Chain A
Amino acid sequence: MNIIGISAFFHDSACCLLQDGCIKAAAEEERFTRVKADPSLPGRAFKYCLREAGLTIGDIDCIAYYEDPRKKLARQLWSGVLAHSPDLMQRIDPGHVERQIRETLGYDGLIRYSEHHLSHAASSYYFSGFTESAIFTVDGVGEWATTTYGMGSGHRLQLFEEVEFPDSLGLLYSTITSYLGFGVNDGEYKVMGLAPYGKPTYADKIEKLISLQKGGQYRLDMKYFGFLAGNCMYSERLPELLGRAPRREDAKLGQWHADIAKSLQVVLEQVQLDKVNYLYERTGSDNLCMAGGVALNCVANGQILRKGPFKRLFVQPASNDAGCAIGAAALAHVALTDERPGNGKLRHVYLGPSSTNRQIHSFLESTSIRYKDYRGDTENLLTITARQLNEGKVIGWFCGRMEFGPRSLGGRSILADPRRTEMRDRINAMVKKREGFRPFAPAVLKEKAQEHFDLDHDSPYMLETCQVISSLDLPAITHVDGSARVQTVHRETNPRFYDLLTAFEKVSGCPILLNTSFNVKGEPIVCTPEDAVRCFITSDIDLLVIEDFIIDRQENDFDRLKFILMHIERSDSGIRHDVYTFI
């Protein structure tokens, strides 16, 4: 049975293929179109998924869409947010989801609709490896729900409570994100990274924004929020409460901003801990599955695991809306087969396209780029790469299938030596052009993880933080509070990346690498060899390892190619940074 799952039309469009319950392929549309957070129907990702499995459109048994358009529209109508759209009727297209699926993709078979949070829940539970589990989903908003509580057992999954819009932890976080001068739907991660620099001095004020209610409920005090009107996340009462005007995007960050970020983080964790305790009481399970955009807050996830009542935690690696594509497909599989999808725990997320050595060679031969060919000589390639890392070089690493989800996990990564103090500033300057306070994350050989991090279980998806306990000095990946967001690397799922870490350990004594996503600021993570080479050339990365080929900046003069590549017309982002894109 071949089921396609789709999330689309708001942000982070994605497509996945579930074949007899197993994920065969999944990818975000932005990676193909190069439009960041592309919301459009994932036509290219769709074609990729089918191509990967050798299928054609006639082989699809069902397309599963990740939310209920009717309920979503009802919420938008109730909230009044559409009143501020220039042309209400134009935006309401009867049956547009089905029409676009049928006309744009050419599909005329069965379409099933799931609800948004159920899709999130399914994306996590069915691939957790748990036979039963409590389920906690938290995001900005789906149709009406912003937070849900559920239970999964065998192939059954049920949500028994929800918190309704506008009461939303995700929108609370996004509101403060916006207030701190970062883009909504884009800057939340930065706020999380800023928090360790601050103190929870204003937690009492943040607490005024949200009150805990009975059971799984909580309530926002809407007088501080402006997102119902659709123009700004916060009202004028919020700066009055917090005692300072909102920060402009380009203004300097100070201690006060860090304290606000910390205060927000603390309140978020408190609320979440309260609610997971409630969930534990309701379900009695020792297992917890999480999904939804707020589940990408790995600091909070770490607190939930350490301080909460659950013994085991699984967070869907693609906890954002892209992951709902997987959840929707899983729900359709259950409905059609009465069987649970998934093949135990999700082992990896290398679900996107790859390129062959032949394709890459043909590409490089067309260019003026000088490169070295290590086909048939992997050991040498790894040794040289490890040595270069040890010498302080920053490496672009393109290997195997592209990851699905927001994290780069050794498929499309930028790698560097975590022991060098200057590495964070270097990578920020050369590639990321991002705020200096944001930490980078480590990838470590699975077998060596406990030696260097306070981590007693695998963490293959970089979704929780823990303390660095290494005897090695790792300034580039250690956050100001001594924490790190760790990826454990497993030979079974990414042998080449594993071997690179092993080679690095051999030359340096350190089994850890700094691992950040292979993209420049404002662009999606690279997908194809062309994307990788473009990113490499237009940034200042020292070396590009692209399958069995190495391109060394020192052996090339990229001035002309850089000039050409930098002046290709860039696509606009799919996200609107001032208000949450729930329209």
Chain B
Amino acid sequence: MIEEMDHRPPELLKSLADELSEILLSGNSDPGRRNDLLDRLGLMRKKKGSSTAPETSPAGLPDTIGIWKKVSKNGKTFYRRDAAKQFHWVAWADVQDIFPRGSRRRVILLGESVARGYLYDPHYNVAKELEAILTSRVETADIEVVDLARTSLGMNDLCELMRSCVALEPELVVIFAGNNWEPDVMHLFDQDDWENIGEAFRREGFPAVKSYIEEKFDRSISRFLETVRATLIEKDIPVIFVIPEFNLKDWKSNHIEQGLLWLPAGEMEKWLCAKAIAEAARANNDIDIFGSAVREMVRIDPSNPLGHEYLGDHYILKQQYAEARLAFEQARDMALFSGGRSTPRCSKLIREVILREAPGLGIHAVDLPGIFASEYPAHLPDRYHFLDYCHLTVEGIKLAMRHTAQVITTVLTGKEISVGDIRASGLYPGDEALAVAHFGAAIHNSHNGQSQEILRYHCKKAVGHSSKIKISMTEFADFSSRRVSSNFCKTFQQIVFGGQMRQYEGAMLTLQHPRDRKLMDIELVNSIVEAFGEESNTLDNMVSQLRASEHGVDSEPLNLLESFYSTTHYNDYAGKPQTTLFSARTTESNFSFIVPPGVERVDITISCRTPGREECGRPIRIHINGEKDALTEIPMSRDWTSWSFTLSGKRLNAGTNRLSIHWPYSFRPMPAEKAYSLNTLTKLMYPVLGEIFSFQAVSRSLHDCD
């Protein structure tokens, strides 16, 4: 619309621009005048093109394959780790050079952290186990496994790696992936998608949302498999796809994933009632009532993983393991719809699409979920095979690679071999490496919101394997208990440069925390102390003193909304912008604070509201240290209101104290606004029950006047 003479739009268009601005900002949905004005201003939107086709491989050797770059030396061309990418080396195999294929048959392993042997690598990993298994058999004794697996590899990067790895002349490629695909798919969603999902939710509730997202996901996975075919199969490179399994029994959802879905009037109240009944019945070992209550939970709200987890527990009590598996799989898969950033996982949908399409594309599948189900009909995958949500223990790796080796052998030799004839290798990480793996697992579990029971398990395992781990554990307990960012702490330096924790992605990256979001790791540090056994007193004293001096409530207001006190894990909602408020989407919010010895009274002030809801007789209840009776009650209020209350005497523990806020649930009509982003969709589907603007604790002498 630029006028040639003046090189600026005509003045007379200003009034049209004014009018269009008014229309757009008023949310006027009548497209007629709007589109007319857009057209006259030269702003009509072009149609979106189709998604880009996969890139074709460039001719000749690629310059890089992952972190390895092409090098020519003494007339030979090979790939060497790029020093400029040194800080990424920890995510890949600890291999300096990859040479051209020689006389040995070459199998390339591509995949994610599960394929790295996360937490054992480099002492032990999937590629080493696979190669050891294969080379122990006559028919595959000449196989080498080239390890191109990378921690945090996404679908797009996997495609790129597939293309470049052809240059290494593989005889066969193993892809062990699927845990990291959900974020890549979610990035494909645009404003239209969010609007469509929002409208689907309004009309038909959660099932329509699930259906929409899964359909898009299904297509994305199909496209990926087609890329596998075009990139590898068409070049006569057989592909074996190892479908990951999940720690179904031990991995639990967190409060982000358990956010309460908007349901029609009365329904969520029923769900909460069923939940209460279920929990009481379980405590009383009343399996039948437990079962009927959890079925009711799942019926009312199939989106909440908690219902499915309880159902799974019920089935385990009934020794109905196939049904339990289905329930826990549902729990795992609901994380995709929660609006939160969940841990990596391979959903049932991914598995089904691969199993459905792989045969037609010439891809061989190693279906670990199917294998686990058949090998352990009376058990579910748990900590024996998994260190955390998806990363396998040594036993898990050996199981997975025996089955993978079986398929490799069949594909390469044409002979059918029973997996029973394939033995795991004799490779085992040493005790120190096992200790580090379990301590790393304890940290990983803790930072993803798992229970103290599993933290204790891993800490004890770690110490049981090697007492040397206590050094790192002590250092960890120290810097975790300090306010200052971990990067600055001398004990953090010691742990990074000591090298003992290098298995945990080099330690530096994994033990850092986001800016202004450090955790105090109370339960983890307490688990560490417990694991020290007879030597725990010294560490316990150190931790207690440190907590008191660094975090103890004193005469300066302590902000309980800081991450130290308000959260125990790093998971959060994925939408942006992030609110500055503490938002509760479940009926209970928990806070911790430290009371130093000698402090007799703590005054707490809270500014909070229950947005859009206000009901008499339904107060917000605040409990201290697990007491059944509320310490105080605050009326629901739409508006911000500030309240103060005091803790003193027996109610105060020296050391760690826990405040629990119980938000009352009541129905609120769905907001009218359209969803146009993940953030707005999350607000629509998972309404906020309570918000806190400020929450402070200050200590006073008992003799101070109010």
Contacts and interface: CB of A to CB of B under 8 A. Distances in A.
Contact of B8 (A50, A95, A104, A166): A166
Interface in B482-498: 482-485, 487-490, 492-493, 496-497
Given A78-B17, A565-B487, A56 B22 contact: no
Nearest to B582: A106
A228 B190 CA distance: 27
| Interface majority SS (helix, strand, loop, mixed), chain B | mixed
Nearest to B491: A366
Interface string A547-579: 000000000000011001101100000000000
A90 interface: yes
A448 to B, nearest CB: 39
B579 interface: yes
A242 interface: no
Contacts of B9: 78-80, 228
A44 interface: yes
A87 B191 contact: yes
Given A74-B21, A106-B580, A564-B487, A95 B2 contact: no
A99 to B, nearest CB: 8
Given A43-B580, A83-B42, A106 B691 contact: yes
A561 B14 contact: no
Contacts of A235: 7
A76 to B, nearest CB: 8
Contacts of B496: 560, 564
A239 to B, nearest CB: 16
B21 A73 contact: yes
A74 B20 contact: yes
Given A46-B580, A366-B489, A564-B508, A56 B639 contact: no
Interface string A70-103: 1101110111101100011110111100001001
A92 B24 contact: yes
Contacts of B683: 103
B2 A100 contact: no
A88 B43 contact: yes
Contacts of B512: 568
Given A78-B41, A80-B43, A366-B482, A106 B489 contact: no
B17 A222 contact: no
A564 B490 CA distance: 11
Nearest to A165: B8
Interface in A46-85: 46-47, 50, 56-58, 69-71, 73-75, 77-80, 82-83
A504 to B, nearest CB: 30
A367 interface: yes
Interface string B593-622: 000000000000001010000000000000
Say which size band chain B's interface belongs to: 35 or more
B18 A74 contact: yes
Given A73-B25, A95-B25, A367-B488, A58 B580 contact: no
A89 B191 contact: yes
Nearest to A237: B7
Given A71-B21, A73-B21, A530 B484 contact: yes
Contacts of B693: 56-58, 106
Contacts of B18: 71, 74
Given A56-B694, A88-B45, A228 B21 contact: no
A37 interface: no
B676 A533 contact: no
Given A41-B577, A44-B580, A83-B43, A94 B191 contact: no
A57 B43 CA distance: 41
Interface in B32-50: 38, 41-43, 45
B6 interface: yes
A163 to B, nearest CB: 14
A172 B142 CA distance: 70
B546 to A, nearest CB: 9
B190 A568 contact: no
B641 A58 contact: yes
Contacts of A108: 639-640
B642 interface: yes
B27 A362 contact: no
A550 B567 CA distance: 35
A305 interface: no
Interface string A353-369: 00000000011001110
A375 to B, nearest CB: 17
Nearest to B494: A368
A116 interface: no
A9 to B, nearest CB: 10
B515 interface: yes
Contact of B190 (A50, A74, A87, A560): A87
B630 interface: no
A69 B286 CA distance: 60
Given A58-B640, A533-B488, A565-B487, A70 B607 contact: no
Given A69-B25, A77-B43, A58 B639 contact: yes
B581 interface: yes
Among B14, B21, B639, find the residue whose CB has the most chain A CB atoms closer than 10 A: B21
Nearest to A55: B694
A93 B191 CA distance: 11
A483 interface: no
A537 to B, nearest CB: 9
Nearest to B693: A57
Contacts of B581: 105-106
A166 B3 CA distance: 14
Contacts of B27: 94-95
B273 interface: no
Contacts of A40: 577
A34 B515 contact: yes
A93 B490 contact: no
B91 to A, nearest CB: 14
A44 B27 CA distance: 29
B24 A222 contact: no
A58 B41 contact: no
B1 interface: yes
Interface in A8-44: 33-34, 40-41, 43-44
A530 B488 contact: yes
A223 interface: yes
B607 A77 contact: no
Contacts of B640: 56-58, 106, 108
Contacts of B641: 58
Nearest to A567: B87
Q: Which of B45, B550, B578 has most chain A Cβ within 10 Å? A: B45
A560 B41 contact: no
A235 B489 CA distance: 52
A104 B492 CA distance: 34
Nearest to B674: A94
A78 B496 CA distance: 56
Contacts of A560: 493, 496-497
Contacts of B490: 366-368
Contacts of A82: 43
Given A103-B683, A565-B488, 20 more contacts: A56-B607, A58-B640, A70-B22, A73-B25, A75-B17, A79-B9, A80-B42, A87-B190, A88-B43, A90-B191, A90-B676, A95-B25, A104-B578, A222-B6, A362-B483, A367-B484, A533-B488, A560-B493, A564-B487, A567-B508
25 contacts: A50-B694, A56-B607, A58-B642, A58-B693, A70-B21, A73-B24, A78-B41, A80-B9, A87-B45, A88-B45, A89-B191, A95-B25, A100-B577, A103-B683, A105-B580, A106-B693, A108-B639, A221-B7, A223-B7, A530-B484, A561-B493, A564-B492, A564-B496, A565-B487, A567-B508
Interface of A: 33-34, 40-41, 43-44, 46-47, 50, 56-58, 69-71, 73-75, 77-80, 82-83, 87-90, 92-95, 100, 103-106, 108, 166, 221-223, 225, 228-229, 235, 362-363, 366-368, 530, 533, 560-561, 564-565, 567-568
- 7 A-B pairs with least C-beta separation: A222-B7, A78-B17, A94-B27, A58-B640, A368-B490, A74-B21, A43-B580
